[in-house]
């Protein structure tokens, strides 16, 4: 189980409060599809993913990115029980969506890169370390119910 110190929780929540979930979600999911194109395999129904411009401008990518990031926001509110919080989503990703948990790690790292992009110097090494713990915790929680 992931344990967060008071300082880590504080670093994570204060940064998260400044994230524009609407915009960042699309940016993060879009970049996942651009940087790791094989992840597009899960999104055949999303229409045009043929180029960086098409992906980053795709309305379905933006909408789904927002949904994913809202879910992450939920993680930030429940850092002490990620496995419980993501139990249902874990079953969904295994049984219905058939997503290899490796993809959760890829998404987590893209999320961290986008935070670095947006927050610059404020995204110090200790702040990054705290956020790496959250994304690793979410990835593990989402994989927890796999069978």
Helices (H) and strands (E) in the chain, counts: 8, 0
Tell me the longest C-alpha to C-alpha distance in the chain. Answer: 44
User: Of residues 31, 64, 66, 93, which one binds other proteins by CB under 8 A?
Assistant: 31
Binding piece for other proteins, criterion CB under 8 A, among 12-20, 40-48, 71-79, 109-117: 109-117
Say if residues 69 and 23 touch (Cβ distance below 8 Å).
Answer: no
Binding piece for other proteins, criterion CB under 8 A, among 41-49, 86-94, 108-116, 137-145: 108-116
- Specify the DSSP class assigned to residue 50: S
| Residue 32: closest CA among 18, 48, 52, 16 | 52
Binding piece for other proteins, criterion CB under 8 A, among 15-23, 30-38, 40-48, 94-102: 30-38
User: Of residues 21, 54, 56, 89, which one binds other proteins by CB under 8 A?
Assistant: 56
User: Of residues 4, 87, 123, 145, which one binds other proteins by CB under 8 A?
Assistant: 123
Cβ within 8 Å of residue 118, ≥6 positions away: 19, 24
- Give the angle subtended at the CA of 119 by the CAs of 99 and 16, to the nearest 5°: 60
Taking the least distance from each CB to other proteins, the nearer of 83 and 133 is 133
- Residues of this chain that interact with other proteins (CB under 8 A) are 30-31, 34-35, 52, 55-56, 109, 112-114, 116-121, 123, 125-126, 128-129, 132
């Amino acid at each position: 189980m992931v344990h967060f110190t008071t300082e880590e929780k504080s670093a994570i929540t204060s940064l998260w409060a400044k994230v524009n979930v609407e915009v960042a979600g699309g940016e993060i999911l879009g970049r996942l599809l651009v940087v790791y194109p094989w992840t597009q395999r899960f999104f055949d129904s999303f229409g045009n993913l043929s180029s960086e411009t098409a992906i980053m401008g795709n309305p379905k990518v933006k909408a789904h990115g927002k949904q994913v990031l809202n879910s992450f926001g939920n993680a930030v509110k429940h850092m002490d029980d990620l496995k419980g919080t993501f139990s249902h989503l874990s079953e969904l990703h295994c049984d219905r969506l058939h997503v290899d948990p490796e993809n959760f790690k890829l998404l987590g790292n893209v999320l961290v890169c986008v935070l670095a992009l947006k927050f610059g110097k404020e995204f110090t090494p200790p702040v990054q370390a705290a956020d790496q713990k959250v994304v690793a915790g979410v990835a593990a929680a989402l994989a927890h119910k796999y069978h």
